[in-house]
Structure 1
Amino acid sequence: MVAVSVRPPTSTHHHHVRSKITPTSTLHRSLGLDSCSKAPRIRLKIFDESISLGFNCKHSTVINGVCLHCGRPMASDYGIRFDYIFDGLRLSLDEISRLKVANSNKLFAQKKLHLVLDLDHTLLHSKAFKKLTPDELYLMKQTDSNTSDGSLFVLDDAYLVKLRPFVRTFLEEASSMFEIYVCSMGSRYYVKKVATFLDPEGKYFDSRCISREDFKEKSKKKLELVLGREDRTIIIDDTKSVWSDHLDNLITVQEYNYFTDYHHNCKSYAEMKTDEIESEGELQNVLEVLRRIHGLFFDGLIKDIRCLPFKRFV
Structure 2
Amino acid sequence: PSATGRPDPRGGAGGTTASSCPPHPGFLHDICVRCGLRREKPSSAGGGSRSSAGHPIPKSTSMRYIHEGLELSNDELEKAKREEKTRVLLSGKLLLVLDLDHTLLNSARFADLTQDDHDVLGRIVAARACADAGGSEEDIAKAAKEAVPHRPDRSMIGREEGREDADGKSTRIPKETERAEDDALPGDETKSFIDDELRELKQTKEPPSGMDSLTDSTVSMEDKDAHFPGCSPPLKHTYCLRHLALFTKLRPFAHKFLRAASELCQLYIYTMGDKRYAAEMACLLDPGGTLFGGRIISNQESTNARVKDLDIVLGADSAVLIVDDTDRVWPNNLRNLIKVDRYHFFKQSALGFRQPGASVAEKNWRDEGDNGTRAQLRDVLLVIASAHRLFFAGTDASGKADEALRSFKRDEDGEETASATRPETARTETSESVQGKDKDKDDSVLGNAKLPDSALETLRSRDVREL
Instruction: Please classify the TM superposition score into its range, dividing by the shorter chain length.
Output: 0.7 to 0.9
Q: CA deviation at 1:292?
A: 0.4
**Correspondence for 1:128 among 98, 106, 109:** 109
- 1:47 alignment counterpart: 13
**Correspondence for 2:365 among 254, 269, 273:** 273
Instruction: Judge conservation of contact 1:61–1:67 (CA < 8 Å) in 2.
Output: yes
Deviation by residue 1:51-94 (Cα, 9 ceiling, x = unmatched) = 2x355343223110001110111256761111111111111111
* Mapped partners of 1:66, 1:57: distance in 2: 13
**Correspondence for 1:108 among 71, 89, 99:** 89
**Correspondence for 2:268 among 172, 176, 181:** 181
* Mapped partners of 1:90, 1:104: distance in 2: 20
Q: CA deviation at 1:206?
A: 1.6
Q: CA deviation at 1:125?
A: 0.2
* Mapped partners of 2:38, 2:314: distance in 1: 25
1:296 aligns with 2:383: no
* Mapped partners of 1:230, 1:59: distance in 2: 25
Instruction: Judge conservation of contact 2:318–2:458 (CA < 8 Å) in 1.
Output: no
The letter for the 1-side match of 2:357 is C
1:117 aligns with 2:98: yes
CA shift in 2, pair 1:104/1:46, >3 Å: farther
Q: CA deviation at 1:151?
A: 0.7
Q: CA deviation at 1:136?
A: 3.5
TM-score normalised to structure 1 length: 0.78
1:88 aligns with 2:100: no
* Mapped partners of 1:207, 1:306: distance in 2: 30
**Correspondence for 1:197 among 284, 300, 306:** 284
Q: CA deviation at 1:223?
A: 0.4
- 1:160 alignment counterpart: 247
1:308 aligns with 2:402: no
Instruction: Judge conservation of contact 1:112–1:179 (CA < 8 Å) in 2.
Output: yes
* Mapped partners of 1:10, 1:219: distance in 2: 44
Instruction: Judge conservation of contact 1:221–1:242 (CA < 8 Å) in 2.
Output: yes
* Mapped partners of 2:358, 2:268: distance in 1: 33
Q: CA deviation at 1:286?
A: 0.5
- 1:37 alignment counterpart: none
Deviation by residue 1:271-314 (Cα, 9 ceiling, x = unmatched) = 42221116621111110000000000000589xx9541799xxx
- 1:151 alignment counterpart: 237
- 1:67 alignment counterpart: 32
SS at match of 1:212: coil
Instruction: Judge conservation of contact 1:63–1:89 (CA < 8 Å) in 2.
Output: yes
SS at match of 1:214: coil
SS at match of 2:247: strand
| Count of residues in correspondence between the two structures | 271
The letter for the 2-side match of 1:140 is G
* Mapped partners of 2:73, 2:328: distance in 1: 28
Deviation by residue 1:1-38 (Cα, 9 ceiling, x = unmatched) = xxxxxxxx1466xx4459xxxxxxxxxxxxxxxxxxxx
TM-score normalised to structure 2 length: 0.53
Deviation by residue 1:142-174 (Cα, 9 ceiling, x = unmatched) = 32679x995111222510000000111110000
**Correspondence for 1:229 among 316, 321, 326:** 316
CA shift in 2, pair 1:152/1:75, >3 Å: farther
Deviation by residue 1:216-253 (Cα, 9 ceiling, x = unmatched) = 32111000110111010011100000001101011111
The letter for the 2-side match of 1:191 is A
The letter for the 2-side match of 1:293 is A
Deviation by residue 1:200-221 (Cα, 9 ceiling, x = unmatched) = 1111112100000112321110
Q: CA deviation at 1:109?
A: 1.5
Give identity over the alignment, percent. Answer: 33
Larger Cα-atom Rg: 2
* Mapped partners of 2:267, 2:129: distance in 1: 25
Instruction: Judge conservation of contact 1:10–1:47 (CA < 8 Å) in 2.
Output: no
* Mapped partners of 1:133, 1:99: distance in 2: 49
* Mapped partners of 2:276, 2:338: distance in 1: 26
